[in-house]
Amino acid sequence: MIVYGPVPSWRLGNSLGVDLIEARKGFSKSCTFDCIYCQLGHKGIRKVKPKKMPILRSDIVVLTKRVRETKPDYITFSGQGEPTLNLSLGDAAQKIRKITDVPIAVLTYSSLINLRKVRENLNACDLVIAKIDAGTQSLFKKINRPCKGITITKIIQGLTKIKTKMAVQTLLFSCGRLTNADDKAIKGLIKVYKKINAAKPIRIFLGTAYRPAGSDKVKGVSKDKLKKIALQIRKETGITVVHYEQHDPKSVSRKLGPEELKDNLLELLKRRPCTEKEISTRFSDKDIKGLLSRSVEQKRLKIKDNFYVLR
Ligand code: SF4
């Protein structure tokens, strides 16, 4: 288990990341999908079989210290892949509850949600944020490129059985002629939102590709279009829709030694490209700008569309 951040999240405020998966050396992720827009790149391990990876006492010690130092708004299971691939997710949530009352969220790609054990693990969190990018199997396959056997129907069925608070998040984008932001795709998504909401009330987080994606062809939708689609969905479904808006990240004042600062920065950027402004609100070190420019010179980081990413 790796603790990273807090990440500045437009949905959750300062969100302290907990990665229960951590990609193997030489790979950028372990996931059941390979989404066309994935910010972690496409050098991943694709797998569908979840397994138990134990939560150590030392992991909880690290987490406790970081919670105390950073006072996050949420503790969020996310990171280099699909958190539900680790069957210890529920155990991790219970252990975290013993050390803090900060709410626990999980970002899931919903791909294993038809498994009872996975749903139990998700129900151990305060908030499940489940990804749905397409309303049809053919678009789902083109966008999320799931492992064999994962279908949108199974995902929807599984989501309707979640008992804890739930939100559905959709990332709207285009990549050449492929898009999930045209009329036809939005109608398909609306059907899915309605179906899930009838069984299990949700709210919708509507995002767009605003950080560097795995391919330069991936483009986000404009601010106006995102707003217009959010209004349409709200009108046709009656569901609360929160859409992405640029915001000023809340500061986390944290003073670290030089080595710890480097490690923390690396763990953050491995999982989430960040702008200089975002990074400088994460660490109170005066030399953070110097560290970033040295890391670029030493070819450990690069800047892409104003975001620092790992090389
Ligand atoms: S689900 Fe997330 S981590 Fe997995 S491929 Fe898609 S964007 Fe990347």
Instruction: Write the pLDDT tens digit of every residue in 124-169.
Output: 999 999 999 999 999 999 999 998 889 999 999 999 999 999 999 9
Sign of the dihedral through C-alpha 155, 84, 242, 185: negative
Describe the crossing of helices 152-159 and 183-199 by its angle, rounded to 10 degrees: 40
β-partners of residue 17 are 4, 76
Q: Is the CB of 135 under 6 A from ligand 1?
A: no
Are 93 and 173 in a shared domain?
yes
Q: Which of 243, 276, 300 is a domain's end point? A: 243
Closest ligand 1 atom to 80 CA: 3
Residues 269 and 163 in one domain: no
One domain for residues 236 and 285: no
Phi–psi pair at 167, nearest 5 degrees: -130, 155
State the pLDDT at residue 56: 94
**One domain for residues 133 and 226:** yes
Query: Is 36 within the bounds of a domain?
Result: yes
CATH of the domain at 81: 3.20.20.70
Mean local confidence (pLDDT), 243-264: 87
User: With contact defined as beta carbons under 8 Å apart, do 91 and 60 qualify?
Assistant: no
33 lines ligand 1 (CB under 6 A): yes
Q: Per-residue pLDDT tens for 39-55? A: 887 777 777 789 999 99
Q: Is the CB of 35 under 6 A from ligand 1?
A: yes
- Our answer on whether the CB atom of 23 is closer than 6 Å to any ligand 1 atom is no
User: Is the same domain home to 239 and 303?
Assistant: no
Query: Rounded CA gap, 155 and 192, in Å?
Result: 10
Task: Choose from 116-125, 146-155, 298-307 the range with maximum mean pLDDT.
Answer: 116-125
Q: Do residues 15 and 6 make contact, with C-beta atoms less than 8 angstroms apart? A: yes
Asked whether residue 152 falls in the same domain as residue 294, the answer is no
- Alpha-helical (H) ranges within the chain are 57-70, 89-99, 116-123, 137-144, 152-159, 183-199, 223-237, 258-271, 276-282, 288-297
Shared domain for 73 and 216, answered yes or no, is yes
79 lines ligand 1 (CB under 6 A): no
| Domain annotation covers residue 53 | yes
Residue 65 lies in a domain: yes
Domain limit, last residue, from 186, 215, 243: 243
Cα 31 to averaged position of ligand 1 atoms, centre (Å): 6
pLDDT exceeds cutoff 90 at 108: yes
Q: Are residues 90 and 165 in the same domain?
A: yes
Q: How far is it, in rounded angstroms, from Cα 183 to Cα 70?
A: 42
Probe residue for ligand 1, chosen from 38, 43, 155 as the CB with the greatest number of ligand atoms within 8 Å: 38
Distances in whole angstroms, Cα of residue 88 to Cα of each of 93, 95, 147, 158 = 9, 11, 22, 19
Residue 165 neighbours by CB distance under 10 Å: 16
Is ligand 1 within 6 A of the CB of residue 40? Answer: yes
Residue 27: the pLDDT is 76
Q: From the CB of 307, is ligand 1 less than 6 Å away?
A: no
Q: Indicate which atom in ligand 1 lies nearest the CA of residue 29.
A: 3
Which residue, judged by its Cα, is nearest atom 8 of ligand 1? Answer: 38
DSSP letters for 54-79? PPPHHHHHHHHHHHHHH--SEEEE-S
Same domain for 117 and 144: yes
233 pLDDT above the threshold of 80: yes
- Clarify whether residues 145 and 201 are in a common domain: yes
Q: Is residue 285 part of a domain?
A: yes
Domain assignment present for 253:
no
Q: Which domain holds residue 283?
A: 258-310
Q: Which residues contact 292 (CB under 8 A, 6 or more apart)?
A: 276, 279, 301, 308
- Of 185, 217, 243, at which residue does a domain stop? 243
pTM of the model: 0.93
223-237 and 183-199 helices, crossing angle to 10°: 40
Which residue reads 């996931």 in tokens?
31
CA quadruple 201, 112, 244, 261: dihedral positive or negative? positive
Residue 250: pLDDT over 90: no
Question: How far, in Å, from the CA of 172 to the mean position of ligand 1?
Answer: 14
Is 96 part of any domain?
yes
| Candidate from 19, 28, 32, 33 with most ligand 1 atoms within 8 A of CB, to mutate | 33
Do residues 172 and 274 both lie within one domain? no
Residues 66, 179 within the same domain:
yes
pLDDT per residue as tens digits for the range 12-38: 999 999 999 877 777 778 888 889 999
Residue 143: phi and psi, rounded to 5, are -85, -55
Residue 253 has pLDDT above 90, yes or no: no
* Residue 251 lies inside a defined structural domain of this protein: no
Number of domains forming the structure of the chain: 2
